[in-house]
């Protein structure tokens, strides 16, 4: 069973502000129960289908340098870093 302290600890590690941790206990418990069902699934008799491709059939991966400076086309950048909007 998941408790409120574990939810609070995970939220802290993920740097997520959650006011009421007890709201998420049932949701997380349901996910863990589903993982238990998946763990118990018998897949030993299932044959894996693998499609192999010869390396000769793959395209060549050639580097083509881009002549223009992409930073010049961006609206918001500082030095060599692109500024992204702040996410909460």
Cα distance between residue 1 and residue 51, in whole Å: 41
Q: What are phi and psi of 21, to 5 degrees?
A: -70, -25
Segment 17-69, tens digit of pLDDT:
888 878 888 888 999 999 999 999 888 888 888 889 898 888 888 888 888 77
Structural tokens at position 10: 């995970």
What is the biggest distance separating any 2 CA atoms in the chain, rounded to whole angstroms? 58
Domain residue ranges in the chain: 4-40
Q: Does the reported pTM lie above 0.85? A: no
The residue written with tokens 């894996």 in the block is: 48
**34 in Cβ contact with 8 (< 8 Å):** no
Q: Give me 14's structure tokens.
A: 């993920």
Contact present, 76 and 83 (Cβ < 8 Å): yes
């Amino acid at each position: 069973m998941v408790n409120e302290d574990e939810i609070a600890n995970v939220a802290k590690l993920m740097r997520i502000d959650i006011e009421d941790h007890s709201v998420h206990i049932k949701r997380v418990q349901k996910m863990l129960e589903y993982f238990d069902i998946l763990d118990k699934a018998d897949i030993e008799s299932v044959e894996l289908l693998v499609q192999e491709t010869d390396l000769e059939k793959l395209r060549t991966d050639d580097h083509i340098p881009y002549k223009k400076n992409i930073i010049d086309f961006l609206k918001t950048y500082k030095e060599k870093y692109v500024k992204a909007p702040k996410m909460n």
